[in-house]
Amino acid sequence: MTRRKKIYEGKAKILYEGPEPGTLIQYFKDDTTAFDATKKAVLEGKGVINNRISEYIMTRLGSIGVQTHFIKRLNLREQLIREVEIIPLEVVCRNVAAGSLSTRFGMPEGQALPRSIIEFYLKDDKLHDPMVAEEHITAFNWASTQEIDDMMALTLRVNDFLTGMFGAVGITLVDFKIEFGRIWENDFARIILADEISPDSCRLWDAQTNEKLDKDRFRRDLGNVIESYTEVARRLGIMKEMP
């Protein structure tokens, strides 16, 4: 393999310089972390599965007109993506109480929410990704009011589509996290979907049994992490060649 310039290394992915200006290569690692990287493991094959699942989801979203950074998958672990100016926010959308929402409000996991809820968190490991309000986002210039509106509208569209897509294969989309980036055209910035969408960034429960098929299996030491991710891929009709 030729040496490439590493642009950024995160906990689960690496970004390399792309072949053309305005492109990057996103490499999916097997490294898995939780609780601000205090819990770590290497789960063999996870990067391969998440590369495929994220490709599939980004492609399906692209087909309904949601613009994403995904261009094409290059190989088992890499995809070609558009370079964006990442907005330093994690946008979480929830349909069912779980995780930090259950903890914060003392709500039992599995309780349906009266409507989908969108939350914003600041992407900052040192600060443990604190939840932020729109007031903070605009005051500190992380995003404009228009960009917040655009992110919320896009998140609801993604939620509607993915809820249906997973529902069709017997999976409940409990919640998920997405990230957005800016593409500049002259002096105008457009917001597009970036990062990844995979069982690392979603809560996915079997619709019949509520069995967890996502990263909570790792966070909570439930075992069978890779088997569950593979099951998600299998139900979506991808990765037929994988065990």
Q: How many residues bind ligand C5P (CB under 6 A)?
A: 14
Distance, in Å, from the CA atom of 18 to the CA atom of 7, rounded to the nearest integer, reads: 10
What size, in residues, is the chain?
243
Look-up of token digits 């409507």: 115
Q: Is 193 in the site for ligand C5P (CB under 6 A)?
A: no
Q: Which helix (H) or strand (E) holds 232?
A: helix 225-235
Among 61, 16, 56, 28, CA closest to 237: 56
Residue 113: burial class (beta carbons within 10 Å; 0-12, 13-18, 19+): middle
Interacting stretch for ligand C5P, rule CB under 6 A, among 99-107, 134-142, 152-160, 226-234? Answer: 99-107
Contact 143, 85 (CB under 8 A): no
Restricted to residues 203-232, the positions that interact with ligand C5P (CB under 6 A) are: 203, 215
Verify binding: residue 151, ligand C5P, rule CB under 6 A.
Answer: no
**Nearer Cβ to ligand C5P, position 129 or 211?**
129
Restricted to residues 33-92, the positions that interact with ligand C5P (CB under 6 A) are 90, 92
Instruction: Find the shortest distance in angstroms from Cβ 85 to ligand C5P.
Output: 20
Answer for which of 30, 129, 150, 206 binds ligand C5P (CB under 6 A) is 129
Q: Which parts of this chain interact with ligand C5P (CB under 6 A)?
A: 90, 92, 98-101, 129, 175-177, 201-203, 215
